[in-house]
Amino acid sequence: MRLLLFLLKCVVGILATLGLLVVAVALVLGLAWRNVESWKSAEVGQPDNAVLVLDLAKGLTDGPPGPAATFGGLTGETNLRRLVLGLEAAADDPRVGGLLLRLGAGELSMARAQQLRRAVLAFRKSGKPVQAFAASFGEGGDGTLHYYLAAAADRITLQPSGNLDLVGFTLDQPYARALLDEWDVKARIYRREEYKGAAEPLTFEEMTQPVRENLQGLLDSWLGQLTADVARDRGLTQAAVRGLVDGGPYLPAEALKDRLVDALGYRDEAEAAILKAAGSGAELEPVRDYLSARGDGGSEDGLPRIAVIYGQGPVTLGESGDGSPFGGLSMGADTVSEAFREAAADPTVRAILFRVDSPGGSYAASDTIWRAVRQAKEAGKPVVVSMGALAASGGYFVSAAADRIIAEPGTITGSIGVVSGKILTAGLWHDLGVNWSGVQAGANAGFWDSTRDFTPQQWARFTGFVDAAYADFVGKVASGRKLSVAEAEAVAGGRVWSGADAAQHGLVDGLGGYRAAIDAARELAGLPRDSEVALVDYPKAGNRLERLLRRFLSDSLLATRVAGLLRASGLLPPLTQAAGEAQLLSQDPRANLLRAVR
């Protein structure tokens, strides 16, 4: 495994020189484009009757403005929080006459689709038209989820040459036990408990029954939510929608006949239809331009403040990765805990909103952030967690101490369990003709080495570590959620839950997105329900270009950063994915003790 990692890094390293030039050009273009956008918004202004156009193919981000935002002008990505709150404002804005959704392409999770659906449905209550267009539902993205979002519109137009892939959900992954056996590689794994399936692909040849039952329950929950919502949107029964799901995918004429879409037409025809519905003088305007012109909604002066802290990506020790081309997205314990301390010490902050979207990771890092949440509460700052698409294992650990937890019905959460171990590669090295030989001082100095197995005494010690971490996890969930240890254990065991099922089991307090979390924070802060608040991101943003250059130039592993750039650009996804898997298997197993998925 180390040999594979070495070879992959060598290949990526060859690209580092060219990557540096690409990065420099991208920095200049990104900053320049953002300035051009602001000048354009200031000089051109907004139409008197704008039809906002949301194109999901441009992408969505869910985080604070930061170094990665420098590249937002080039990619066209829209910030989710600004979008949701901006659509709320647009519903009451007399200069906005309607909304057009361009769907069918772009990444979309169940939870994010529900967040956007809620915003679209709220916009519709203003009486302004909302229409959706897709060249095809499924060719450029998840057809089921894109259609789920489209169903929230008044009218759906599908291109005559497209398809409608309303087919439901699937979760599968490759199981590599037989391949590892062939390579003489062994995965020495211990988990608590049987539903914790993160390492199963390394230890089994197929999904075990407990994990299969658990994941089937998650997908059944998702499908139940989707069929109920689409039935309500389209004026059908839930049973009829379930039948349509099982009968998909559909040709355009079939989708029209079955009342899944309202018209067949091309993009220009869909645009003409929404402009006509919006009334005289209507003009199309990208929603991103509208949000740029609007800013953050006005001055913060004198308003009660709610601190917003983001915890996104794998939970790690050290600083957070900002998702820029110079590093992947991660929830760094130092960065997040410092943000909590900063917000807790600020007398103008009335409450803290903690946005969590994470598969988990390091137990120690998760515990550090858990402690910071507790200390903020002890300092008198209510903490509300808003869960995104995924807040599982360590992602749930960091949330457990909050005063209130809000999740989308489709959020993947829970996974209260622990898994760890190491990959034994001695057999592989032997087959390759490589013999590892060395010395050590200390009976257990090679405890974590991948070239030697645990001794019986070491295995007992190791499993004791995992048992202790699991007991601590369950105990902290019980304490934070006001459950008995037995009650917490009944929903733990590594089980994952949809947000809707988690609410029924006491793991979350309410269902909703940003607006529900903001309302909860306002309530816990003792503010009037209709009072205006200012959302302030913590930690405070510094000079973005300076931070980018400092991170880039100070990192000795230049190839790793270039690999991040290549991954973001999509140029070498197979190479970078393989490198990432090799890196995961080669690092200290404690870095992934509380991980829900690989």
Omega within 30 of 0 (cis) for the link into 193: yes
Q: Do residues 466 and 418 make contact, with C-beta atoms less than 8 angstroms apart?
A: yes
CA–CA distance, 505 with 487 (Å, rounded to integer):
9
The yes-or-no answer on residue 554 being catalytic is no
Task: Please tell me whether residue 506 adopts helix, strand or coil conformation.
Answer: coil
Q: How many CB atoms lie within 10 A of CB 455?
A: 13
Question: 391 vs 46, 355, 416, CA distance in Å?
Answer: 38, 10, 11
Which H helix or E strand runs over 495? Answer: none
The DSSP letter of residue 34 is H
CA–CA distance, 477 with 552 (Å, rounded to integer):
39
Q: What is the DSSP string of 520-561?
A: HHHHHTT--TT---EEEEESPP--HHHHHHHHHHH-S-HHHH
Residue whose tokens read 């002008």: 73
Q: Among residues 393, 399, 420, 498, which one is catalytic?
A: 393
Q: Do residues 411 and 388 make contact, with C-beta atoms less than 8 angstroms apart?
A: yes
The yes-or-no answer on residue 420 being catalytic is no
Omega within 30 of 0 (cis) for the link into 64: no
Q: Is the dihedral of CA 206, 207, 210, 213 positive or negative?
A: negative
Q: Among residues 41, 109, 186, 196, which one is catalytic?
A: 196
Torsion angles phi and psi, residue 407, rounded to 5:
-130, 155
- Catalytic center residues: 196, 393
